[in-house]
């Protein structure tokens, strides 16, 4: 987040994106209004608002829009962008130039909406959009500008959700307190018990007015803001309904006519009960992210050059520092083992249950736990936002913020819904009034229609399920890029698996070197290694691993022939390293006897890589990679689900077929270039299949991009660089299965939610219009429907516990 807080005068950025936290949204139509308000700003390309998360994801052109525009547009629409502010102590503020400078620096930071200096107290308060900046980044900017300062607030982040739940509870308690007298009045009216003042109209008027204009005022205020902007949302329904009942009753007090104060107050109380339960439940759906964030320790032990160990806050750790990790500690930042040995439990990041031994120069990730019985030392290589853990959190948050297509369907319904409901209420009022001649009954029915029809549950149906689903996915090491990815995964009918690095472990080892006469083995390996130095292919690692640095030849102008091998020049001659196709392409023929000798190796599932200089073949390298232990089981499980499984590889046919046979794949496409792989996927999709391509992302990028669902096997730590729909943190074929299960179950849950939400409204509105439901029952039912949807989404967690 620190990155966003750079000055706006820096290099021109065009496509920028930002996440805003939005307060004040109550239902699906609010979502549409906020989106509309954001999209209306010139320079904003897209805006996605998520109701359950209360976040807006905005893509915009940073040259034309400033983040302050977002804040004003959202607040004009009647909502608010959440901000965060901190106060810093700054010596010298009594001097005007220092004050000006502080203000100028703070204002130039992106995301900052307010700067206030207080010369007498010597402090400056900076307010910025939550999530865009951090106190540290602000401090850094000041310090960079030559101003010294210190943070006054303790910097404890207040949990917004908890605050909201508390606020909702307070409001509800207040509302119940003043609704109780009205219930007493009701009891006296119907049962004749209790003192006479229970039914005193003035007492009723007082109690109901407190509820209407106290806790209930929030509905009226938001309804008014919406109506003023020509929008209609659920607040409009609640406000119109309760205000109608209240106004008619006030008239009743003066005209000695019937009173409906109990109706207006009870409806408000019931809806507040719903809001409170919703706030509590929403807090639970985001638990996955909180669990991830809780993996970060607060402090860590830094070892300085003299060997002295001091405990510091994790935020203070800088790249390059040496940290001491004791047994049982959570690792604070990403880094490399420097001294000693780490025995880490990475299950929280990857779902991988086995402990991993990490020795010198191997990487360890923030959030994982050291289970060894001795302390080890590590060097910090990535801190803060750059750690894998932070990237996972970001990926999950983004997955939840970007709207699934199915959600847009719900939004469209909600948009036309409110005006229609108001229409139905008016018709109910007029029709009943004229037909029965009883305007009292007519009014109650109209109020019931308004109250029962709130589209809250519709708005909550998708995001709550997506939130739970993507959270569960993250726990087992399956990261979905967004809601759409979940939706697509649910539709997959065929899986294409890359061989190297996906079905096999991707840690190949050089097993045998076959050198032609007059060529020594070290020379051959040294030449091969020279070509592989710039490659990040798994085969390259095997060759480099086996080579002696002293033998590496001075090969020049090395480049990659994607999916074939490497090409370079030595003494004016072309040097080739790769498959037969590569040699063929350069007009080099492999001697017959050598070729037959290597056939048996290929048939045993090993990869044969040829090395040639000029037009002579110097030899071959036989490289073997172990098949992942769970591959066979996972592939069988996929086929049991009626999913077509095909293996795509650039390796030669014999090798590929052997591996395929071992894991139980019958459909093998070998000797494919990366483009061939993409073309194969395109043709399967054209044939009506929905294909998920699983690859290690190194040379499978075209195929990953072409497939309906690209699943990238994260090679270690590059979550952020992945552009695939799904990132598999754990390199096991079984992760594919888990991704499918999570996708299918989540989308099934969304459908279920949408069905019930719609069903509920379709059934309840006529019941209310024909007087079967009293306004109070309608209020209770509407509260219940929201709570049901959220609870149903939470149940997904249990449905997926076995994943």
- The residue ranges that bind Mg ion (CB under 5 A) are 498, 500-501, 696
Which residue among 78, 650, 697, 775 contacts ligand ADP (CB under 6 A)? 650
Which residue among 274, 384, 563, 743 contacts ligand ADP (CB under 6 A)? 563
Distance CA 559, CA 541 (A): 16
Residue least distant from Mg ion (Cβ):
500
Cβ nearer to ligand ADP, comparing 287 with 668: 668
- 108's enclosing H/E stretch is helix 96-108
Q: How many CB atoms lie within 10 A of CB 170?
A: 12
Cβ nearer to ligand ADP, comparing 386 with 532: 532
Region from 240-248, 281-289, 626-634, 645-653 binding ligand ADP, contact rule CB under 6 A: 645-653
- Alpha carbons within 13 angstroms on the beta-carbon side of residue 616 total 8
Among Mg ion, ligand ADP, none, partner that 540 touches (CB below 5 to 8 angstroms by kind):
ligand ADP
Among Mg ion, ligand ADP, none, partner that 649 touches (CB below 5 to 8 angstroms by kind):
ligand ADP
Cβ nearer to ligand ADP, comparing 311 with 718: 718
How many residues interact with ligand ADP (rule CB under 6 A)? 21
Which residue among 67, 400, 407, 607 contacts ligand ADP (CB under 6 A)? 607
Query: What is the smallest separation between the CB atom of 538 and ligand ADP, expressed in angstroms?
Result: 8
Q: 3-state class of 562 per DSSP?
A: coil
Segment 681 to 710, residues that bind ligand ADP, using CB under 6 A? 699
Cβ nearer to ligand ADP, comparing 270 with 670: 670
Give the sheet arrangement for strand 123-129, strand by strand. Answer: 112-118, 123-129, 83-89, 150-151
Q: Return the percent helix, strand and coil in the chain, to nearest 5.
A: 50, 20, 30
Which one, of 563, 561, 562, lies nearest residue 650 by Cα? 563
Cβ nearer to ligand ADP, comparing 607 with 761: 607
Q: 3-state class of 204 per DSSP?
A: helix
Mention every residue, 6+ apart, whose C-beta is less than 8 A from residue 190.
none
Say whether residue 731 binds ligand ADP (CB under 6 A). Answer: no
Region from 169-177, 207-215, 530-538, 763-771 binding ligand ADP, contact rule CB under 6 A: 530-538
Say whether residue 579 binds ligand ADP (CB under 6 A). Answer: yes
Query: What is the smallest separation between the CB atom of 574 and ligand ADP, expressed in angstroms?
Result: 15
Say whether residue 613 binds ligand ADP (CB under 6 A). Answer: no
Which residue among 286, 482, 535, 613 contacts ligand ADP (CB under 6 A)? 535
Distance CA 18, CA 757 (A): 31
Query: What is the smallest separation between the CB atom of 696 and Mg ion, expressed in angstroms?
Result: 5
Say whether residue 566 binds ligand ADP (CB under 6 A). Answer: yes
Say whether residue 111 binds ligand ADP (CB under 6 A). Answer: no
With beta carbons less than 8 A apart as the criterion, state whether 547 and 530 touch: no
Give the sheet arrangement for strand 556-561, strand by strand. Answer: 509-515, 616-624, 607-613, 573-578, 565-570, 556-561
With beta carbons less than 8 A apart as the criterion, state whether 221 and 435 touch: no
Query: What is the smallest separation between the CB atom of 620 and ligand ADP, expressed in angstroms?
Result: 10
Say whether residue 564 binds ligand ADP (CB under 6 A). Answer: yes
Cβ nearer to ligand ADP, comparing 179 with 579: 579
Say whether residue 527 binds ligand ADP (CB under 6 A). Answer: no
**Between vectors from CA 373 to CA 367 and to CA 379, what angle results, nearest 5°?**
50
Among Mg ion, ligand ADP, none, partner that 625 touches (CB below 5 to 8 angstroms by kind):
none
The secondary structure of residue 307, as a DSSP letter, is S
Which one, of 37, 149, 173, lies nearest residue 87 by Cα? 149
With beta carbons less than 8 A apart as the criterion, state whether 373 and 360 touch: no
Catalytic residue among 334, 386, 498, 700: 498
- Alpha carbons within 13 angstroms on the beta-carbon side of residue 336 total 7
Residue with tokens 């305007």: 439
Which residue among 609, 611, 737, 742 contacts ligand ADP (CB under 6 A)? 609
Cβ nearer to ligand ADP, comparing 295 with 678: 678
Which residue among 44, 486, 489, 577 contacts ligand ADP (CB under 6 A)? 577
Residue with tokens 């060097």: 379
Distance CA 141, CA 259 (A): 62
Distance CA 277, CA 169 (A): 9
- Alpha carbons within 13 angstroms on the beta-carbon side of residue 788 total 17
Say whether residue 498 binds ligand ADP (CB under 6 A). Answer: yes
**Between vectors from CA 389 to CA 383 and to CA 392, what angle results, nearest 5°?**
130
Cβ nearer to ligand ADP, comparing 84 with 498: 498
Packing angle between helix 631-640 and helix 653-663, nearest 10 degrees?
70
Which one, of 411, 317, 357, 452, lies nearest residue 772 by Cα? 452
Which residue among 651, 657, 725, 732 contacts ligand ADP (CB under 6 A)? 651
Among Mg ion, ligand ADP, none, partner that 650 touches (CB below 5 to 8 angstroms by kind):
ligand ADP
Residue least distant from ligand ADP (Cβ):
650
Cβ nearer to Mg ion, comparing 127 with 696: 696
Say whether residue 578 binds ligand ADP (CB under 6 A). Answer: yes
Cβ nearer to Mg ion, comparing 57 with 699: 699
Cβ nearer to Mg ion, comparing 484 with 696: 696
Say whether residue 565 binds ligand ADP (CB under 6 A). Answer: yes
Q: Is 498 a catalytic residue?
A: yes
Region from 122-130, 239-247, 577-585, 761-769 binding ligand ADP, contact rule CB under 6 A: 577-585
Residue with tokens 């779902």: 351
Say whether residue 606 binds ligand ADP (CB under 6 A). Answer: no
Distance CA 92, CA 148 (A): 9
Query: What is the DSSP code string of 10-46?
Result: SS---EEEEEEEEES--SHHHHHHHHHHHHTSTTEEE
Among ligand ADP, Mg ion, none, partner that 576 touches (CB below 5 to 8 angstroms by kind):
none
Region from 140-148, 210-218, 492-500, 760-768 binding ligand ADP, contact rule CB under 6 A: 492-500
What separation in angstroms does the CA of 551 have from each of 21, 537, 544? Answer: 58, 21, 11
Positions in the binding site for ligand ADP (CB under 6 A):
498-500, 532, 535, 537, 539-540, 563-566, 577-579, 607, 609, 649-651, 699
Catalytic residues: 498
């Amino acid at each position: 987040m620190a990155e966003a807080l750079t000055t706006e005068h820096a290099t021109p950025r065009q496509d920028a994106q930002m996440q805003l936290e939005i307060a004040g949204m109550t239902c699906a139509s609010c979502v549409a209004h906020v989106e509309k308000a954001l999209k209306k700003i010139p320079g904003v390309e897209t805006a996605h608002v998520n109701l359950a998360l209360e976040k807006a994801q905005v893509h915009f052109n940073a040259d034309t829009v400033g983040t302050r525009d977002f804040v004003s547009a959202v607040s004009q629409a009647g909502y608010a962008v959440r901000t965060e502010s901190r106060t810093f102590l700054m010596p010298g503020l009594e001097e005007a130039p220092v004050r000006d400078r502080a203000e100028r620096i703070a204002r130039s930071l992106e995301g900052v909406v307010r700067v206030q200096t207080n010369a007498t107290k010597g402090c400056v308060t900076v307010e910025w959009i939550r999530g865009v900046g951090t106190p540290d980044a602000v401090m850094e900017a000041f310090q960079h500008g030559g101003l010294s300062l210190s943070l006054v607030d303790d910097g404890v982040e207040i949990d917004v959700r908890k605050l909201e739940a508390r606020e909702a509870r307070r409001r509800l308690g207040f509302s119940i307190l003043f609704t109780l007298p009205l219930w007493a009045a009701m009891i006296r009216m119907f049962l004749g018990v209790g003192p006479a003042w229970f039914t005193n109209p003035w007492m009723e008027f007082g109690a109901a007015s407190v509820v209407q204009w106290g806790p209930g005022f929030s509905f009226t205020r938001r309804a008014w803001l919406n109506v003023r902007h020509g929008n209609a949302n659920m607040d409009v329904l609640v406000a119109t309904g309760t205000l109608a009942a209240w106004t008619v009753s006030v008239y009743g007090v003066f005209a000695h006519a019937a009173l409906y104060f109990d109706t207006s107050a009870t409806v408000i109380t019931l809806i507040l009960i719903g809001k409170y339960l919703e706030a509590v439940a929403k807090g639970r759906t985001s638990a996955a992210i909180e669990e991830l964030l809780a993996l970060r320790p607060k402090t860590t032990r830094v070892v300085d050059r003299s060997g002295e160990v001091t405990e510091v806050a994790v935020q203070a750790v800088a790249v390059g520092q040496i940290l001491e990790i004791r047994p049982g500690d959570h690792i604070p930042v990403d880094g490399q083992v420097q001294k000693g040995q780490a025995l880490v439990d990475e299950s929280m990041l990857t779902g991988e249950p086995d402990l991993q031994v990490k020795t010198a120069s191997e990487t360890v990730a923030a959030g994982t736990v050291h289970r060894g019985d001795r302390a080890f030392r590590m060097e910090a290589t990535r801190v803060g936002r750059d750690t894998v853990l932070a990237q996972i959190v970001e990926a999950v948050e983004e997955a939840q913020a970007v709207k699934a297509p199915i959600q847009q369907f719900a939004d469209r319904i909600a948009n036309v819904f409110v005006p229609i409901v108001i229409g139905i209420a008016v018709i109910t009022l007029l029709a009943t009034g004229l037909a029965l001649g009883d305007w009292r009954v007519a009014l109650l029915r109209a109020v019931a229609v308004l109250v029962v029809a709130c589209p809250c549950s519709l708005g909550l149906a998708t995001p709550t399920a997506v939130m739970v689903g993507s959270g569960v996915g993250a726990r087992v090491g399956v990261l979905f890029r967004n809601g759409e990815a979940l939706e697509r995964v649910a539709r997959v009918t065929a899986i294409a698996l890359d061989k190297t690095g996906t079905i096999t472990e991707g840690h190949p080892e050089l097993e045998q070197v076959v050198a032609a006469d007059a060529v020594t083995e070290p020379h051959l390996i040294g030449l091969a290694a020279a070509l592989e130095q710039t490659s990040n292919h798994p085969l390259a690692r095997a060759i480099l691993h086996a080579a002696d640095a002293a033998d590496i030849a001075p090969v020049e102008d090395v480049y990659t022939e994607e999916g074939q091998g490497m090409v370079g020049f030595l003494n004016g001659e072309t040097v080739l390293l790769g498959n037969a196709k590569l040699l063929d392409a350069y007009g080099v023929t492999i001697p017959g006897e050598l070729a037959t000798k290597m056939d048996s190796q290929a048939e045993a599932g090993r990869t044969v890589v040829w090395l040639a200089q000029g037009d002579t073949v110097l030899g071959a390298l036989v490289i073997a990679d172990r098949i992942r232990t769970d591959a066979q089981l996972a592939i069988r499980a996929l086929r049991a689900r009626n999913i077509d499984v095909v293996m795509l590889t650039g390796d030669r046919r014999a090798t590929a077929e052997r591996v395929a046979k071992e894991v139980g794949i019958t459909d093998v496409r070998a000797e494919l270039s990366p483009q061939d792989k993409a073309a194969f996927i395109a043709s399967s999709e054209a044939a009506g299949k929905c294909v998920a391509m699983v690859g290690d992302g190194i040379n499978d990028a075209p195929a990953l991009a072409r497939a309906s669902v690209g699943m990238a096997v994260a090679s270690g730590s590059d979550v952020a660089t992945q552009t695939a729909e799904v990132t598999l943190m754990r390199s096991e074929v079984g992760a594919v299965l888990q991704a499918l299960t999570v996708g299918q179950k989540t989308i099934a849950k969304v459908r279920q939610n949408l069905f019930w939400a719609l069903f509920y409204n379709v059934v309840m509105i006529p019941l209310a219009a024909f007087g079967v439901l009293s306004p109070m029952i309608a209020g209770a039912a509407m509260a219940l429907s929201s709570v049901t949807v959220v609870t149903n989404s939470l149940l997904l967690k249990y449905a997926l516990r076995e994943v």
